[in-house]
Amino acid sequence: MEQCASVEREVDKVLQKFLTYGQHCEQSLEELLHHVGQLRAELASAALQGTPLSATLSLVMSQCCQKIKDTVQKLASDHKDIHSSVSRVGKAIDRNFDSEICGVVSDAVWDSREKQQQILQMAIVEHLYQQGMLSVAEELCQESTLNVDLDFKQPFLELNRILEALHEQDLGPALEWAISHRQRLLELNSSLEFKLHRLHFIRLLAGGPEKQLEALSYARHFQPFARLHQREIQVMMGSLVYLRLGLEKSPYCHLLDSSHWAEICETFTRDACSLLGLSVESPLSVSFASGCVALPVLMNIKAVIEQRQCTGVWSHKDELPIEIELGMKCWYHSVFACPILRQQTSDSNPPIKLICGHVISRDALNKLINGGKLKCPYCPMEQNPADGKRIIF
């Protein structure tokens, strides 16, 4: 982040110079136009009178021409100074960032270039769909000849349609979706449907005493949620007492807070993505954020590897040469490291549970087989290697 801040300071300096130069340029040109306008008026007056050009007027013309020349030279000089400031931004970028970060990782670690390009394009398209930029995603698919199934696009189209309605404070599509997926939302312990009904009830309360009967009638929707949300329902029903006096000046004024709309959008996005098997944040944004944290460490590792001439240390696709702490935000699943080989398990080398209950990697299991039998490295129990079962964390 220090590198970014350093470059940002240089950019701010350039932007400030552009602003100052623009203001100075506009002011200088206005003064010149005013001066030339006055001189033109004097020349036109002298021509109407038919008098020859006086020495004073000739001197004023010469001074005006010289002033124009000096002003243009000054503006050109200031413009050159801006060019030097812009070049300093480029130097700051070169000084603070590695010009070739692709060399941080060996090409042998990655798949073919075509596979890389396809994965990257798919990640960008998914990110665009998730951000609601549907037309941009479609254009990218056409230009990159990427074939995206309608089944892949449909969940994003539906989510964006409902989110757009919520941003316009239209609860209808979200309520319809939540009711149709009620059972699955309950399995996730989601309170989305209740929050949508609550927000609709609050909108009726905001309508004043004229909406009191409608609000009371709508309160029947809270019946299925009475056991889990009893306190919140009591608060909403209590607010009806102050409806004629105005909720804005009552103890229930917090119900009218506009933050409820931002909260319902966030809740819907989280629960809908969980229900549909999608991540709340796009894989592209998560990968980018993780890369910003990991890249400086990997660059240091690269320098050490080159210095010690041990290029064979990092050759695995599924494992980094050192552990990099990305923070709790990037924890999505558990990771198991084999206690025998000290390696992180993967799809090609999954964790295996032995009959005795101990867990090792498949590679470790294969190396421990002796005469068709396997002896657990932690207890003396002998067993058949085929009895080991793959487990998933």
Q: What is the DSSP-derived secondary structure letter of residue 99?
A: S
pLDDT band for 111, please (50, 70, 90 cuts).
low
- Residue 319, pLDDT score: 64
Alpha carbon distance 32, 26 (integer Å):
10
The set of residues, in sequence order, having a beta carbon less than 8 Å from that of 271 and lying 6+ positions away, is 185, 188, 190, 192
Strand partners, 360: 352
Tokens of 103: 């060399």
- Residue 351, pLDDT score: 92
Q: What is the pLDDT of residues 318-347, one digit of tens each?
A: 566 677 788 777 777 777 888 888 888 888
Nearest CA-CA partner of 212 in 245, 170, 166, 175: 245
Tokens of 386: 């085929």
The set of residues, in sequence order, having a beta carbon less than 8 Å from that of 342 and lying 6+ positions away, is none
Mean pLDDT of all residues in the chain?
82
Strand partners, 373: 370
155 burial via Cβ count (<10 Å: 0-12, 13-18, 19+)? middle
Length of the chain as a residue count: 393
Q: What is the DSSP-derived secondary structure letter of residue 54?
A: P
Sign of CA dihedral 326, 327, 329, 333: positive
pLDDT at 317 over 70: no
364-369 own/partner pairs: CB under 8 Å, 24+ apart: 364/338, 364/340, 367/340, 367/341, 368/340
Alpha carbon distance 361, 337 (integer Å):
8
Look-up: residue for tokens 């207890």? 379
Higher-pLDDT residue of 221, 145? 221
Look-up: residue for tokens 């549909």? 276
Q: What is the pLDDT of residues 345-365, one digit of tens each?
A: 888 889 999 888 899 999 988
Cα atoms found within 13 Å of the Cα of residue 344, Cβ hemisphere only:
12
pLDDT at 204 over 80: yes
17 burial via Cβ count (<10 Å: 0-12, 13-18, 19+)? middle
Nearest CA-CA partner of 73 in 104, 109, 126, 32: 32
Q: In what order do the strands lie in the sheet with 382-383?
A: 369-370, 373-375, 382-383
Mean pLDDT across the stretch 266-276?
86
